[in-house]
Amino acid sequence: MKISMINYKSLWALLFILASWIAFTVFQNSTKLWSTLNLSISIHYWNNSTKSVFPKTSPIPLKSLTETELRIKEIIEKLDQQIPPRPFTHVNTTTSATHSIATILNPQDTYCRGDQLDILLEVRDHLGHRKQYGGDFLRARMSSPALMAGASGKVTDFNNGTYLVSFTLFWEGQVSLSLLLIHPSEGASALWRARNQGYNKIIFKGKFVNGTSHVFTECGLTLNSSAELCEYLDNRDQEAFYCVKPQHMPCEALTHMTTRNREISYLTDKEKSLFHRSKVGVEMMKDQKHIDVANCNKSEKIEEKCQVGMKPPVPGGYTLQGKWITTFCNQVQLDTIKINGCLKGKLIYLLGDSTLRQWIYYLPKVVKTLKFFDLHETGIFKKHLLLDAERHTQIQWKKHNYPFVTLQLYSLIDHDYIPREIDRLSGDKNTAIVITFGQHFRPFPIDVFIRRAIGVRKAIERLFLRSPTTKVIIKTENIREMHIDTERLGDFHGYIQYLITKDIFKDLNVGIIDAWDMTIAYDTNTIHPPDHVIGNQINMFLNYIC
């Protein structure tokens, strides 16, 4: 009986060990399987090839990938809540500028400079019915043309068909108020859905060169093709670009790129009717006369000098006599002598699109000692370099990487993503970097822009670790032509990117040039503002770095 009991216990012990071993093996394999599945889900968009134009690096921990993906998902979910689907049955049920009612709260015969003027807007449809939800894309501005003065207003959406429009009365004199209905909420909702529905609004054509022969093939951020693909991947930042591989040419033979619009739309015909020229940017305060603003001897608070790390409010300034005047810091208007002194010994890198290329064209007009250095490149999208050897000043402009949208053929030599460009700079107290991107991202789903913004932020964080004294300036997008191709390029897309930019970079020690706010104040309505606007953007930049 005793021996049987011992054998019985031994058998149970053996079974326990066997079960534990099986469980451990299954757990190990299932963990590997889940990790593999999770990895493939998170990077399916961008990484399914070994053909990379970047040097091979050690495997990236899963955490860094999911961190980016989760951040993108979080931002998009917030935006989806802010721009929910809106029912659109007939144009008569959409917001009407004519029937909506704007009422000045606590009206006065004369206001004092520095006062805040508030307007309650109640939006109604074309049948005169009060709307029960918000989401209209509005633009508020006040101006005094005789004084060459302007400023944006702040719009608060209560999401119930009412809005609070606030103006700070920055100057004295006769002031006119404007509130434009850019798009009704139904139009904004349609644009948001259409934007995120596909990557096919733009056709990329890549030029492959082999000796004296060349061939063009289709390229893109994604390609739905059964043909063999060349895949140009940045594994670290999860960026991808693809081209159909030409016969008898290697993927490394890609040298140039051009783009054109694809004849495709994700809007219905009914939705397209909302973006007719006559329905975009309609004034909602037609009957509003000017208001009078007096000085009232109010004392002004003297702000500290403009410096990086400050967060501009909205509005962050105003124009008066054509000059941009900040409201959150003490900005100095620099003359040619001061600009020369400021730039001495500086290395300045302008990274982005053609709205920053305007800077490098403008500067030699003011600083005559700055001369372009011929880098033996061609086209307006080549790298531009300004030098002043005597003062040891260098200013460089480079375009950002895909997506870059233009009919002109541009070179891909020395062409890289902004985070990679930042990583190549050692940085020091005399180095300044200005970054802007957005206009070329408008035709694509919002995740492309968010991914790039996160990558740029991480590169700035790496830069600050090795060189905390380097100055980094973020220039937001300009507003642009109001009646341009709305689905691909309209300011609604730019405004969403403007909000994302401010959110992603909000707690970094960077300077912000709020070009969105500035170009509304100047009422430019063009992607490339005139020289006096560019000069004031540059003046703001120089205040940050000097």
- Residue 510, pLDDT > 70, answer yes
**pLDDT at 52 (0 to 100):** 36
- Residue 4, pLDDT > 60, answer no
Q: Which residues contact 308 (CB under 8 A, 6 or more apart)?
A: 471, 472, 473, 509, 510, 511, 544
295 touches 123 (CB < 8 A) = no
- Where is average pLDDT lowest: 16-30, 80-94, 256-270? 16-30
* Mean pLDDT confidence for 99-128: 96
* Mean pLDDT confidence for 5-9: 45
**pLDDT at 405 (0 to 100):** 97
Of the two residues 376 and 8, the one the predictor is more confident about is 376
Q: Which residues contact 391 (CB under 8 A, 6 or more apart)?
A: 340, 343, 344, 345, 369
- Residue 11, pLDDT > 90, answer no
Question: What are the E-state strand segments in 393-535?
Answer: 393-399, 410-411, 431-435, 471-475, 511-513
Going by C-alpha positions, the residue among 457, 403, 460, 477 that lies closest to residue 67 is 457
Residue 65: which pLDDT band, with cuts at 50, 70 and 90?
Answer: low
Query: What is the CATH architecture assignment of 317-544?
Result: 3-Layer(aba) Sandwich (3.40)
**pLDDT at 137 (0 to 100):** 98
Going by C-alpha positions, the residue among 513, 489, 490 that lies closest to residue 501 is 513
**pLDDT at 100 (0 to 100):** 97
* Mean pLDDT confidence for 318-334: 95
Distance CA 420, CA 239 (A): 11
DSSP β-bridge partners for residue 113? none
Candidates 3.30.930.10, 2.40.128.20, 3.30.470.20, 2.60.40.10; correct CATH number of 91-190+280-294?
Answer: 2.60.40.10
Residue type, 245: K
> Number of C-alpha atoms within 13 angstroms, CB side, residue 224?
3
Residue 360 three-state SS: helix
> Number of C-alpha atoms within 13 angstroms, CB side, residue 344?
8
- Residue 24, pLDDT > 80, answer no
**pLDDT at 27 (0 to 100):** 40
Of the two residues 213 and 60, the one the predictor is more confident about is 213
**pLDDT at 301 (0 to 100):** 75
- Residue 375, pLDDT > 80, answer yes
- Where is average pLDDT lowest: 62-71, 341-350, 415-424, 473-482? 62-71
**pLDDT at 56 (0 to 100):** 33
* Mean pLDDT confidence for 301-319: 92
- Residue 66, pLDDT > 50, answer yes
- Residue 6, pLDDT > 80, answer no
**pLDDT at 54 (0 to 100):** 36
- Residue 437, pLDDT > 80, answer yes
The alpha carbon dihedral of 519, 521, 526, 532 has a sign of negative
Kindly list the distances between the CA atom of residue 215 and the CA atoms of 131, 139, 451, in Å, as whole numbers in the listed order: 55, 46, 31
Please list, residue by residue across 227-260, b when 16 or more beta carbons sit within 10 angstroms of its beta carbon and e when fewer do.
eebbbbbbbbbbbbbbbbbbeebebebbbbbbbe
Crossing angle (nearest 10°) for helices 446-466 and 491-504: 30
Of the two residues 20 and 124, the one the predictor is more confident about is 124
pTM across the whole model: 0.87
Strands 154-157 and 213-220: unpaired
Q: Which residues contact 336 (CB under 8 A, 6 or more apart)?
A: 366, 367
* Mean pLDDT confidence for 329-345: 93
Residue type, 232: Y
**pLDDT at 30 (0 to 100):** 38
**pLDDT at 536 (0 to 100):** 97
Residue 58: which pLDDT band, with cuts at 50, 70 and 90?
Answer: very low
For the stretch 377-427, pLDDT in tens is 988 999 999 999 999 999 999 999 999 999 999 999 988 999 999 999 999
* Mean pLDDT confidence for 287-307: 86
Strands 471-475 and 511-513: parallel
- Residue 15, pLDDT > 70, answer no
Of the two residues 498 and 46, the one the predictor is more confident about is 498
Distance CA 344, CA 432 (A): 12
* Mean pLDDT confidence for 39-68: 41
Residue type, 233: L
Residue spans per domain, the chain: 91-190+280-294, 202-261, 317-544
Place of tokens 């783009």: 259
Residue 516 three-state SS: helix
**Secondary element (H or E) of residue 438:** none
- Where is average pLDDT lowest: 58-62, 113-117, 366-370? 58-62
133 touches 185 (CB < 8 A) = yes
* Mean pLDDT confidence for 144-150: 98
* Mean pLDDT confidence for 133-154: 98
**pLDDT at 288 (0 to 100):** 77
Q: How far is CA 232 from the centre of its chain?
A: 23
